[in-house]
Amino acid sequence: MIISILCNIAILFVFKYYNFFTTIIIRILSIFHFNIHIQSFNHTLPIGISFYTFEAIAYIIDIYRGDIKAEKNLGKFATFIAFFPQLLAGPIERAKHMLCQFDEKHSFEYEKIKRGLLLILWGLFQKLVVADRLSKLVDTVFAAPNSYKGFEVIIASIFFTFQIYCDFSGYSDMAIGVAGVLGFELSRNFRQPYFSKSIKEFWRRWHITLCSWFKDYLYIPLGGNRCSTIKNYRNIMIVFIVSGLWHGSALNFIVWGTLHGIYQVIEKVLAPLKNRLIERFRIKTETFGYKLMQVLITFALVDFAWIFFKADSFKNAMRFIRNMFYFNPGVFMNGAIFKLGLSYKDFYVAVVGIFVILIGNLLQRKDDLYEKFLNKNMMFRWSTYLIAVMVIIIFGVYGPEYNPSQFIYFHF
């Protein structure tokens, strides 16, 4: 098991982290006046390597634990590892969930195909209409962190918060939809994360399959929460630092992961004080106002951490944060807000798109939106399909503001 895991990690390390760590080694040695040259490794990153490496490691550990039996058919195993709908950006599937599906007989099922096509349509809306449009403003501001201040920076950070969600959730929905059309079932990867009332809840709703992987194959083996308080905090920090490193070989990704680890540790440390204050002042925790406050605080913390994720370096992230604390409400009056990469029309389309996403998430949180929609009469359903297709074509494909961009998680 150890040899198999090390082989998988070694391949990932060479392609993704070799240059990062050799640069660190060279800089550390230069402090002590040792100047060495280490050959860099400049080859194209294999498609989906971060995702299928984790799938392979989970497969190995599951066999070792006796949770599954080794697959004797190389073709089925290879199909599981390279299953095309989710190869590039997940969801990160488990062998015990997928391998059995390759043994099943798949036939035409109208309901599965209809649900799959609806998911593809919703994913296209998220990606083409919302995420790609938001990316124009986000890329403009983040590319020049010293040129923008105050509300310009705040708006760019909020827009990126929704861009990365729509981009990644859109891909996941399309992957699940494509697999569904073929008769396969993939795991759900998002569950309305921006309505979370704590950072812990956020990570139960964001990139669910990755969080589940870290929980089962890193957090619990380290001891989880069945250990001393200090060791539990250590385990949380290790998981999130590794999560940051998994996303990218750069300091800003490590800081992003570390921040989320710190958030969770602080939540645990302050939980007793929070409960005492609630009891002392008789705060009604079931009221809408209290829940909204929790959601807004969580969103603000997540939004702040995303700055490090998006910035191309740690220094630029710090410049971006420093420029946030500048009061310039005039940008809303002098039209400067419409000079950040989006015209005023497309700016408003982007804002409307965000509200559509939030409303859709809110409705889905309370009920199974797909089931309710499919129960509507045929006229309503087909009118909605045609309107959705037209909206995606008009606002997502045509026009001077169309900005097709690669899926963000393709880089990982």
The catalytic residues are: 247
Other beta carbons within 10 angstroms of residue 259's beta carbon come to: 21
Q: Running DSSP on this structure, what letter comes out for residue 130?
A: I
Cα Rg of the chain, angstroms:
23
CB 257 within 8 A of CB 308: no
Contacts of 50 (CB under 8 A, 6+ apart): 12, 16, 246, 412
Greatest CA separation found in the chain? 76
Taking alpha carbons only, the member of 235, 214, 234 closest to residue 224 is 235
Contacts of 287 (CB under 8 A, 6+ apart): none
Taking alpha carbons only, the member of 125, 118, 117, 120 closest to residue 395 is 125
Contacts of 285 (CB under 8 A, 6+ apart): 278, 291
User: Two tokens at 277?
Assistant: 């204050």
Q: Running DSSP on this structure, what letter comes out for residue 16?
A: I
- Hey, what long-range contacts does 406-411 have (CB within 8 A, 24 or more apart)? 407/88, 407/89, 407/127, 407/167, 407/168, 407/171, 408/163, 408/164, 408/167, 408/168, 409/88, 409/89, 409/90, 409/167, 409/168, 409/171, 410/88, 410/89, 411/248
User: Two tokens at 381?
Assistant: 């359903």
Residue 63 identity: I
Taking alpha carbons only, the member of 204, 236, 205 closest to residue 220 is 236
Which residue shows structure tokens 């995606």?
392
